[in-house]
């Protein structure tokens, strides 16, 4: 074979070599730009998850800080007060149709919300917790054939200036039911249950309450 470059000469450089290298580098850059590495993609769920976890720990810290500042007797006294107030509110519902009294409905929902919170604190402090839990389940399960219960509306709309119409209807329904059958109405059942709980709490609560 004839050596076209001579014995001491190197082959001439490809004049298109630099252009080829540049084109390869550009294609590599474009590909990386279109398909970034997996580890560089931020997870959209992580910020929300972290915020939820942070909020949960904040609530737990606040709750247990308050727990340490109180005593079992204080919670028994608070719960006895809640039960007496609830009994009074249910008694008023037996006497009048209060579905249109927004002030009463707002105060009632706030009272129920406080009652739920104080009851939770009794979980490890009083054997009466189970009895109260049963009463709460009665409210939460009324009425049976409904998307949202009476207890749900009381909890979700605590102190709200606007109350959903189905909630107002439940107040009216309870009143009308009691008018028709006072001895077997839900209001009569609930007030009787509350009276029993109040008597039990008076036995266990501090003497000055």
pLDDT tens digits along 96-155 = 999 999 999 999 999 999 999 999 888 878 888 889 999 999 999 999 887 889 989 888
Residue predicted with more confidence, 72 or 5: 72
**For residues 68-93, average pLDDT:** 86
Quote the pLDDT of residue 127.
Answer: 84
**For residues 48-61, average pLDDT:** 46
**For residues 7-35, average pLDDT:** 50
When the pLDDT of each residue in the chain is averaged and rounded to a whole number, the result is: 75
Quote the pLDDT of residue 75.
Answer: 84
Quote the pLDDT of residue 64.
Answer: 47
| DSSP code, position 10 | P
**For residues 5-18, average pLDDT:** 47
Percent of the chain with pLDDT over 70: 63
């Amino acid at each position: 074979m004839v050596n076209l470059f001579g014995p001491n000469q190197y082959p001439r450089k490809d004049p298109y070599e630099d252009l080829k290298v540049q084109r390869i580098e550009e294609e590599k850059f474009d590909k990386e730009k279109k398909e970034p590495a997996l580890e560089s993609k931020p997870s959209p769920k992580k910020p929300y998850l972290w915020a939820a976890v942070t909020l949960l720990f904040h609530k737990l810290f606040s709750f247990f800080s308050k727990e340490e500042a109180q005593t079992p007797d204080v919670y028994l006294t608070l719960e006895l007060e809640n039960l007496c107030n609830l009994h009074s509110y249910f008694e008023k519902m037996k006497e009048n149709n209060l579905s249109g009294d927004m002030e009463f409905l707002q105060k009632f929902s706030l009272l129920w919300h406080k009652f739920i919170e104080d009851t939770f604190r009794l979980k490890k402090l009083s054997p009466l917790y189970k009895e109260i839990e049963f009463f709460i389940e009665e409210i939460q399960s009324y009425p049976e054939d409904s998307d949202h219960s009476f207890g749900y509306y009381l909890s979700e709309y605590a102190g709200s200036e606007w109350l959903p119409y189905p909630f107002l209807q439940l107040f009216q329904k309870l009143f009308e039911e009691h008018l028709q059958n006072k001895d077997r109405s839900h209001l009569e059942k609930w007030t009787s249950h509350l009276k029993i709980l109040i008597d039990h709490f008076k036995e266990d609560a501090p003497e000055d309450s």
